[in-house]
Chains A and B, each alone.
Chain A
Amino acid sequence: MPARSLSLHHVVKRYDNLQPAVDGVSLQIEPGEFVSFLGPSGSGKTTTLMMIAGFQQPTSGDIHLAGRTIDKMPAHARNIGVVFQNYALFPHMSVADNVGFPLRMRGLGKAEKHRKVGAALEMVGLGALAARKPAQLSGGQQQRVALARALVFEPDLILLDEPLGALDKNMREHMQVELKRIHRELGVTMVYVTHDQTEAMTMSDRIAVFNQGRIEQIAAPQDMYLRPATRFVASFIGDNNLISATALGAGRYSVAELGPLQACDLALADGSPVDLLLRPEMIRLAGDQPPCATLRIDSAVNYGDSVLAIGRVGATPLRVRIPGPQARDLRAGQEVPLHWHASDIHVIPAARA
């Protein structure tokens, strides 16, 4: 299947004179990339997807697919496969007719259609169910049919709008693996909308985090996790401790009631407000090492493989995740010395606000 690039330039969608649903989104997706749009509901990720698909028109800005401008093109001429959360299978058609629908629209001969439908159903592991009606399939099977239907006509791009949202947890994890396999085998460019950060982390080449109609950051999952660009991204992805602080210069930051902390130097002006991100799993019990702080535990949640200790250092709330056997003795009310490396603290310059 051909891999195509997709690019959006300053795309805006405004419904009324209210806050725009999409407020100047620009991004460049490389051929064959798997990119997730991640964000809370109402962040503009689905609206952006609908504009790429052609179901909604951008108020301004333009969209290019494989170098062509497509934003004035009607949806049926774009050659983009779309998978919906509720599957959107045609209930009156059999599985084979559903998958054959895009080929029928392209006027393919009967034999070729039959061959391609068979191959697509084989790809999603549903070859035996071609004669069934959608209502006779489970949710997971219906989503596979929808996937087969969206890829059978060799689209330039596949858009997936929270495709696994309606499935239970086991089926969802199974389908994530399947989807990645299909993406690898076909090499087609995929854009995946989700509000589930784990899903985005495990599946994507890159993640675009949406908030209030804008992209806060677009980066590979690991970069996003370790070096979030904004306070929003840091709080949306992964468990976190976000500590407000002030730059003191030379990589030192002052935290109210905690004293100065050493972290990396961003060459910020002295007195600039920053947020310090310290992931709970980066913090260890001090042991032999000099303690960085002392945590007073308010509650300890045992996950079996680890314990999440929630407490305070001075007045600053802190979450600490301690793995393994050393965590078993942690109890509410205890005071424990903590240690972390200066390099584990990620410094985020405070937002424009």
Chain B
Amino acid sequence: MKSLKTLAVLIALFIAVPLFIVVPMSFSANASLQFPPSAYWWGNYQHFFSDINWMQPLFNSLYIGLATTLLTLALAIPASFALVRHYFIGRTALNLLLMLPMIVPQIVMALGYYLYFGRLHLTQSFTGIIIVHTCLGIPVATLILTAALRSFDANLEHAAHSLGAPALTTFWLVTLPVLRPAVLVAGLFAFIQSFDETVIAVFISGRDTATLPRQMFNSFRMEADPVISAASSFLFILVLAALLLPLAVRLTRRSSGSAAGHLAR
């Protein structure tokens, strides 16, 4: 039992080690990537936040991430309802189709999109990247939403109808709020997926539409600029914040709730 615990801690450490290298290195005063750094300063961060070559990709990534999140939800929510609530010919096939982006190697998809989008003049455009990232985000979003929908009590909708709410009102006032945690989690995963995605971004995003991971990849290949470590640390903290946000919200809500204690759902 004890040795199992030790093993678990070792594995966790092994997974986390890159962070212990990248985060200290982001404070390095050395002119090239080098570990351990010989001196520490804030310079890399100053450079990162003042250089248009880094800020542009950061804002591109945020913009693409948000647009991807909205588009993914707009497609995955109706798709999940169709998959869970209705029986139709080709339902299993549709389910499989929606899962494909998770199964096909990204490099294969990247190549496919590169050739296909070239014809459609969608390479180097925001639209192109948003479409691709949406495709990548849909499998996980659909999995999360269909799971939530399967455990959704249809009597809640029946109750709302009987109390006088037409179908659309019921959806906005009852169905969606009850499914909200699942929608938030699905959206979060879609955003992180887009924000982290590198391979396809390298293939199809252009200079003006470069995402942060693409800029990091380029910078690493060209010059091994130590600002990369600042960018990586920032990327990491942003994703971590996004993941911890729902937890934080729940904790504050619980502590500010009544003395009876919220049974948080």
Q: How far is the CA of A82 from the CA of B159 in the complex (A)?
A: 7
Q: How far is the CA of A81 from the CA of B164 in the complex (A)?
A: 9
Q: How far is the CA of A13 from the CA of B122 in the complex (A)?
A: 53
Using CB atoms and an 8 Å cutoff, list the residues of chain B in contact with chain A: 153, 155-156, 158-166, 169, 173-174, 177-178, 180, 258, 260-263, 265
Find B162's partner among A76, A90, A132 (CB 8 Å cutoff).
Answer: A76
A92-B177 CB under 8 A given contacts A132-B260, A135-B265:
yes
Q: Which of A69-120 contact B (CB under 8 A)?
A: 74-82, 84, 86, 88-92, 101-102, 105-106
Verify B158–A53 contact, CB threshold 8 A: yes
Q: How far is the CA of A153 from the CA of B159 in the complex (A)?
A: 13
Verify B158–A153 contact, CB threshold 8 A: no
A131-B155 CB under 8 A given contacts A76-B162, A90-B178, A149-B163:
no
Contacts of A55 in B (CB 8 A): 158, 161-162
A41 near B: Cβ within 8 Å?
no
Q: Which of A210-230 contact B (CB under 8 A)?
A: none
Verify B158–A105 contact, CB threshold 8 A: no
Verify B162–A105 contact, CB threshold 8 A: no
Using CB atoms and an 8 Å cutoff, list the residues of chain A in contact with chain B: 53-55, 74-82, 84, 86, 88-92, 101-102, 105-106, 131-133, 135-136, 146, 149-150, 153
A76-B260 CB under 8 A given contacts A82-B159, A84-B159, A91-B265:
no
Contacts of B169 in A (CB 8 A): 105
Give 19 pairs: A residue, B residue, CB < 8 Å, sorted on A.
A75-B161, A76-B166, A77-B164, A78-B162, A80-B162, A82-B159, A88-B155, A90-B177, A92-B177, A92-B178, A102-B163, A102-B164, A105-B165, A105-B169, A131-B258, A133-B263, A135-B263, A136-B260, A136-B263
Interface centre among A76, A135, A150 (most CB of B within 10 A): A76
Interface centre among A74, A102, A149 (most CB of B within 10 A): A102
Verify B165–A88 contact, CB threshold 8 A: no
Contacts of B174 in A (CB 8 A): 90
Verify A88–B153 contact, CB threshold 8 A: yes
What's the minimum C-beta distance from B250 to chain A, rounded to whole angstroms?
A: 14
Contacts of B260 in A (CB 8 A): 132, 136
Q: How far is the CA of A296 from the CA of B173 in the complex (A)?
A: 66
A101-B160 CB under 8 A given contacts A84-B155, A92-B177:
yes
Verify B258–A84 contact, CB threshold 8 A: no
Verify B262–A136 contact, CB threshold 8 A: yes
Q: How far is the CA of A88 from the CA of B163 in the complex (A)?
A: 12
Contacts of A77 in B (CB 8 A): 164
- When C-beta atoms are compared, the residue in chain A nearest to B155 turns out to be A88
What's the minimum C-beta distance from A18 to chain B, rounded to whole angstroms?
A: 16
Contacts of B153 in A (CB 8 A): 86, 88
Contacts of A74 in B (CB 8 A): 161, 166
Interface centre among A74, A77, A136 (most CB of B within 10 A): A136
Q: A74-B166, A82-B162, A102-B164 are in contact. List 10 more A-B contacts (CB 8 A).
A: A53-B162, A75-B161, A76-B162, A82-B158, A84-B155, A88-B158, A92-B178, A105-B165, A133-B263, A150-B163
Contacts of A53 in B (CB 8 A): 158, 162
- When C-beta atoms are compared, the residue in chain A nearest to B265 turns out to be A91
Verify B164–A76 contact, CB threshold 8 A: yes
Q: How far is the CA of A88 from the CA of B177 in the complex (A)?
A: 14
Q: How far is the CA of A89 from the CA of B265 in the complex (A)?
A: 14
- When C-beta atoms are compared, the residue in chain B nearest to A55 turns out to be B158
Verify B163–A91 contact, CB threshold 8 A: no
Find A133's partner among B159, B160, B161, B262 (CB 8 Å cutoff).
Answer: B262
Interface centre among B159, B258, B262 (most CB of A within 10 A): B159
What's the minimum C-beta distance from B190 to chain A, rounded to whole angstroms?
A: 23
Q: How far is the CA of A338 from the CA of B48 in the complex (A)?
A: 101
Verify A92–B180 contact, CB threshold 8 A: yes
What's the minimum C-beta distance from A134 to chain B, rounded to whole angstroms?
A: 9
Contacts of B258 in A (CB 8 A): 131-132
What's the minimum C-beta distance from A230 to chain B, rounded to whole angstroms?
A: 32
Instruction: Identify the 5 closest CB pairs spanning chains A and B, nearest first.
Output: A105-B164, A102-B163, A75-B161, A88-B155, A88-B159
Q: How far is the CA of A53 from the CA of B162 in the complex (A)?
A: 7
Contacts of A136 in B (CB 8 A): 260-263
Q: How far is the CA of A131 from the CA of B161 in the complex (A)?
A: 24
Contacts of B261 in A (CB 8 A): 136
Q: How far is the CA of A93 from the CA of B165 in the complex (A)?
A: 15
Verify B164–A153 contact, CB threshold 8 A: yes
- When C-beta atoms are compared, the residue in chain B nearest to A135 turns out to be B263
